[in-house]
A and B are shown apart, each in its own frame.
Chain A
Amino acid sequence: MAGTRLKRTPLYECHVEAKARIVPFAGYEMPVQYAGVLEEHRAVRTAVGLFDVSHMGEIEVTGRRALDFVQYVTCNDAAKLTVGRAQYSGLMTPRGTFVDDLLVHKMADDRYFLVVNAANKDKDYAYLCAQCVGFDGVEVRDRSDEYAQIAVQGPKALPTLQKLTSVKLDEIKYYRFVEGTVDGAAAIIARTGYTGEDGFEVYVAPGDAPRLWRALLAAGDEFGIVPAGLGARDTLRFEASMPLYGNDIDDTTTPYEAGLGWIVKLDKDGFLGREALLRQHGDGVRRTLVGFEMTGRGIARHGYPIWAGGKEVGAVTSGTHAPTVGKALGMGYVPVALSAVGSAIEVEIREQKVAARVVEMPFYRRAR
């Protein structure tokens, strides 16, 4: 990124005021932590946390054939969406691997709102533009600079946000959204998140974001709300075993390998990667993403080699000390033969092989 000027979200000043530690991430100056990752993690698990995720990309697909196009580039079945519903999906290469993972929101019959990873936004936009040739009247627009996104996450997310809107939040089911008003600002309010907790992702115009951020902090004060940074976002999503693009999935991994077969709808006609995925579905995968627990002392990190039977068999994709579970855990790709729960593997940590054991994912599941 040398020579590239870092961008700031509309909430940058709020983070500086809150004495956040700011780091470069995906071309933005982002808050990695405020009070501390563990405290922020705990607040989201037990009360409520507020995340600035304005760096995420928002891409709009419009036109009479918008659905046909979304169906063509993604592996999940967007035809199942009705207006007001969102879907987790994969933007696919012709090889059936991930260009990105994303949320597809159906705004209208001829309008879809795609929320993509910040680091992939430009790549995704270029890919979508290249692929939409031949889909008459379909327009792809990068609207990322027109939206700020604030995630309100945790068991007290609903009562916090409810104070600022007349929209009946308890009527919005998981993976649904409404367009309404929050603290006087026009907003998309989606019951989605990346933490493993209940919560909402709120999309507003950048100019409305700082006031809404402060209003949410005030509204959540009685519940113990804290602003939470990218550090806690990562430990929360990791513990909930939600994949992170660039770590756990990328353009060399397929949804089947990543344990995301449920987002592949092979009965859907002609979409990018379908043939490759159909073949893999028939043949079976050779490697698969597993969760593991360190049984020896050490913490697995992204990129560390995984060993078994004296051979290097794979690599760690994510790993840390999971704060709520209280264990050193990791994820990584291993041959299918080693993927059963209980399988013994070793993680190479600074030239030492440390014992680990395959465990079930998700590592953490909230009580409902």
Chain B
Amino acid sequence: MAQPNDRLYTKTHEWIILAGGEATAGITQYAQEQLGDVVFVELPAPGKKVEKGAALGNIESVKAVSEVFAPMAGEVSATNGELETHPELVNQDPYGQGWLVRLRVAPGAADGLMDAAAYEKFLAEEGAH
């Protein structure tokens, strides 16, 4: 499956769009398929500082709870309030209306992240499709 090439990806299946020191993040199509129907999203309060790879929040499907990891270090500047009443947006539109958080990030925060082609290759190597 082709991933949008306007953004970067992590090995833990988050995506990031960087624009002027602010990163918008969400989970990938693959991640939402693995989770199944999302029924509850727990996100950090704006102002919270997170390290790269730290727990950023939790996504609950009908079956189980999964952690979301911070794709880069930064400070939470906004969260997607729409998910409080419509958690299913994470399934329906993971790359758009299902975004999770915005982070204020430092220059160089994107180091080590994958572009779309690299993420697709990573998925293929993982045996995902």
Contacts and interface: CB of A to CB of B under 8 A. Distances in A.
B23 interface: no
A321 B62 contact: yes
12 contacts: A36-B37, A37-B62, A37-B63, A38-B62, A41-B62, A231-B36, A231-B62, A297-B40, A299-B60, A320-B62, A320-B63, A323-B62
A37 B38 CA distance: 10
Sorted from nearest, which 9 A-B pairs have the closest CB atoms? A321-B39, A38-B37, A37-B62, A299-B60, A37-B37, A299-B40, A36-B37, A231-B63, A320-B62
Contacts of B40: 297-299, 321, 328
Nearest to A37: B62
A299 B39 contact: yes
Interface of B: 36-37, 39-40, 42, 58, 60-65
Interface centre among B36, B40, B63 (most CB of A within 10 A): B63
Nearest to A350: B58
A235 B37 CA distance: 12
Contacts of A323: 62
Contacts of A328: 39-40
Interface of A: 32-33, 36-38, 41, 231, 234-235, 297-299, 301, 320-321, 323, 328, 350
Contacts of A301: 64-65
A36 B36 contact: yes
B62 A297 contact: no
Contacts of B60: 299, 321
A299 B62 CA distance: 9
B42 A298 contact: yes
Contacts of B62: 37-38, 41, 231, 235, 320-321, 323
Given A297-B42, A299-B39, A321-B40, A32 B65 contact: no
A299 B61 CA distance: 10
Given A298-B42, A299-B60, A33 B65 contact: no
Contacts of B65: 299, 301
Contacts of B39: 299, 320-321, 328
Question: Most chain-A Cβ atoms within 10 A of its Cβ — which of B36, B37, B40, B61?
Answer: B37
A329 to B, nearest CB: 11
Contacts of A321: 39-40, 60, 62
B93 to A, nearest CB: 15
Contacts of B63: 32, 37, 231, 234, 320
Contacts of B58: 350
A296 to B, nearest CB: 11
A32 B36 CA distance: 10
A326 B60 CA distance: 15
A85 to B, nearest CB: 34
A41 B61 CA distance: 14
B68 to A, nearest CB: 13
Contacts of A38: 37, 62
A328 B39 CA distance: 9
A37 B63 CA distance: 8
A181 to B, nearest CB: 37
Contacts of A234: 63
A328 B40 CA distance: 9
A299 B38 CA distance: 12
A167 to B, nearest CB: 35
Max chain B C-beta neighbours (<10 A), residue from A37, A299, A328, A350: A299
